[in-house]
Amino acid sequence: MPATVILGAQWGDEGKGKLVDRLAEQATWVARFQGGNNAGHTVVLGDQVLKFHLLPSGITRKECNLVLGDGMVIDPWVLNDELVNWKESSDEDPRGERLFVSERAHIILPYHRYMDSLDSKIGTTGRGIGPTYADKINRIGLRFGDLSEVNGDSNWAESTSERMNASLDAAGSTERVSKQSLLDDISWICDNFSSAIANTGLMLDNALKLGENVILEGAQGCLLDIDQGTFPYVTSSVTSRGNSTHGAGIHPGHVEEVIGITKAYITRVGNGAMPTELLDEVGDHLGTVGHEFGTTTGRKRRCGWFDAVVMRHAQRINGFTGLALTKLDVLGGLDEIKICVAYELDGQEIREMPSSASALERCKPIYITMPGFPSQTLTEWLGIAKKANSEGKGFSALPSAAQHYIKQLETLVGVPCTSVGVGPDRDATIDLVE
């Protein structure tokens, strides 16, 4: 059975966790392939709200194996906290049983967090992601597979702490790393994760050869991709389809289905241009009704109308086979809904995103306008979704204006919607009826 890739198609926070949680019911493996605890995935199970930063969203399915893949950077202390919290709620510690950490994944150490805290331009999460990837590229990083080689090695700890302190001093930080603290950190990581460290790429490859169902779960979104995003206001990894298999340690021929997650509007956290951003009562409506606060940072998300220019760019990079539209319910109650179909840049109409951050800042959105549809309570939306799926109604269960809006998005992006989310609950999703 081929692998399925789940990717964010905007600037992140699109609702990937909810979709992965649903699809994981039929999956044997869910693997993260990039990023670290700068991601935040939320899964709602009735009254229970689960928020993950490192653990794959498939953890809620007890029969599903979990992988933190080769292309990730992992903070072992954050991972341990998530596992402790999971054990408290589920009475399960999956490490080494169904949770496996790639021996090729890089380790976020306190030094990396110290360096990241100095950022004042990009608006990072401060979790040490960028500095850890920088060490990876500079070929001086530490991987989980290297732990046994350096554990207890005082010469390594001395030279490494000296290098770290020189970098901190040059960057203007007052934080310092001692040789002993570094040795203690390595010993602690070994004690807590040795049982889970594995050749996860080989495990996934074998699973696929046996016909098992593997989901590759992305973090952040296409517009935060280090190469294809709105540079320099991006994350430090390749978030797109091309890295899904590479970062998991398998070949791209395994992938057949690529689902792009997109909100029915658009949001962004952090700095950088966002042409359709709304600073009026409509923006307030989207932020309030959509509860738009970052899972990882708690920062208020910037909200705007759906941007088809952004989505066409995401589609070109990723080749989505289907779109999972989320948060359609949030648009309920608006008299009219706008969709950005092009930009005006310095007096000229353009239909593709400029690569320059300053040019994107100057872009003005060109809109088409569609009629709105009535608001519903979350309970009412959940009822609509359950009835639509149980009776095989699909999208026809939605208000006619909402159906027209979905069809317009499909036309503009050139990809069919395979599901539509109308609330945070696991069951508040309407599946396409073929």
Phi then psi dihedrals of residue 73, to 5 deg: -120, 125
Write down the residue that tokens 């969203």 correspond to.
57
Alpha helices in 91-197 (DSSP H): 110-116, 129-137, 147-150, 154-171, 179-193
H/E run at residue 202 = helix 200-209
Rounded Cα distance, 277 and 26, in Å: 37
Largest alpha-carbon pair distance within the chain? 69
Q: Which helix (H) or strand (E) holds 5?
A: strand 3-8
Residue 41 a catalytic site member = yes
Active-site residue (options: 13, 135, 185, 225): 13
* Catalytic residue list contains 313: no
CA proximity to 422, closest of 401, 402, 400: 402
On the question of a cis peptide bond just before residue 232, with omega within 30 degrees of 0, the verdict is yes
Q: Provide CB contacts within 8 A for 137, sequence distance 6+.
A: none
Instruction: Give burial (CB, 10 Å; 0-12/13-18/19+) of 434.
Output: exposed
Q: In the β-sheet with 3-8, what is the strand arrangement from edge to edge?
A: 197-198, 99-102, 65-68, 29-32, 214-217, 3-8, 255-263, 322-326, 417-421, 429-431
Annotated catalytic residue, options 21, 41, 106, 225: 41
Positions annotated as catalytic residues are 13, 41
